[in-house]
Amino acid sequence: MDHHTHTTDTSAHTTAHTTDTSDPAPAAASGLLAGKVAFISGAGRGIGAAAARLFAREGARVLLAARTEDQLKAVTEQIRAAGGTAQYAVCDLADASSVRAAVERTVEAYGRLDVAFNNAALATRQPGPMDQVPEADFDQQYSVNLKGLWLALAAQVAAIRTSAGTGAIVNTSSVGGWRGNPVLPAYSAMKRGVHSLTESAAVAYGAEGIRVNAIAPGTTLTEMMRHWEAQSPGIVGQLNARTPLRRAAEPEEVAEAAAWLLSDRASYVTGVVLSVDGGMQAT
């Protein structure tokens, strides 16, 4: 069961609001993602923020997207202070025009799109069995976790095709997408759908040189996981006991897997859902 970065701000944005249009510096000359332009959703905190910082350190010019501007601004400033190149766009993944505008903003800012990390997700703050999930909660999760991913993939493929020509995309799924989940049934069902969208996109766009993979994190020490631990003390310990490595992941560890899949070192890898779960899926 993964508890990766989640967007909880309820404000809606129908268009992407961005920082200045200047491109302050070229990408670093070396690094796993040297010379690439990367789009990262859910980049305000958790795994997404860790990925944004990592991708920039590895030489990418990054465009951060999420719904909470204060968080985006903070991460962008961290990257710039460390010598990286970063801009951001406030984006609501449940809104098609907002998604397209954020992806198009990447191309406007940097001239191309090479890679994308679709990490934004939404999970209920009150886990419970299926019969206790409100319909509105289900619909809200669907709008971001599955429809939002579909919208992002469509926009990213179009941008890669018309700018860089070839590229790579990584989607964040969950170890919960591999198995039944009695306390997060809607979330897990949609993460199973992420597996299917990932495989379908890999097959559809492989001939064009666009690779599409997913990662399936296990227990990860993000803000949402800490919230659930506060609500249900001991849940992290219980999950760790089911994990062969006997601990939760730091967001940076999960981001490393995404960086490799997006890099040229994974040039023959597509259609894969890579578990990053400390061995939980093997149990």
Q: Is 18 helix (H, G, I), strand (E, B) or coil?
A: strand
Order of strands, edge to edge, in the sheet holding 85-90? 17-18, 85-90, 61-66, 37-41, 115-118, 167-172, 210-217, 273-276
Torsion of CA 15, 167, 251, 1, to 10 degrees: 90
Rounded Cα distance between 196 and 150, Å, is 11
Active-site option among 88, 110, 142, 187: 187
Domain 37-276 has CATH 1.10.3720.10: no
The one-letter code for the residue type at 74 is A
Q: Which of 9-13, 77-81, 164-168, 259-263 has the lowest mean pLDDT?
A: 9-13
In this prediction, residue 6 carries a pLDDT of 38
Calculate the average pLDDT of the chain.
89
pLDDT in tens, 113-124: 999 999 988 877
Q: What is the pLDDT of residue 30?
A: 83
142 part of the active site: no
The stretch 147-170 carries a mean pLDDT of 98
Cα–Cα distance measured from residue 48 to residue 40, given in angstroms and rounded to the nearest whole number: 7
pLDDT band at residue 41 using 50, 70 and 90 as cut-offs: very high
Judged against a pLDDT cut of 50, whether residue 16 lies above it is answered with no
DSSP H/E element including 64: strand 61-66
Region of poorest pLDDT, from 7-16, 64-73, 184-193 = 7-16
Each residue of 207-221: pLDDT tens digit? 999 999 999 999 899
What is the tens place of the pLDDT at every residue in 72-112? Answer: 999 999 999 999 999 999 999 999 999 999 999 999 999 99
What share of the chain in percent tops pLDDT 70?
89
Band (17; pLDDT cuts 50, 70, 90): very low
Torsion region of 83: left, alpha or beta (phi above 0 gives left; psi -120 to 50 gives alpha): left
**How far apart are alpha carbons 225 and 92 in whole angstroms?**
22
pLDDT for the residue numbered 272: 98
More confident residue, 275 or 23: 275
DSSP 8-state class, residue 94: T
DSSP characters for 107-162?
A: HHHHS---EEEE------SS---GGGS-HHHHHHHHHHHTHHHHHHHHHHHHHHHH
CA distance 17 to 210: 28
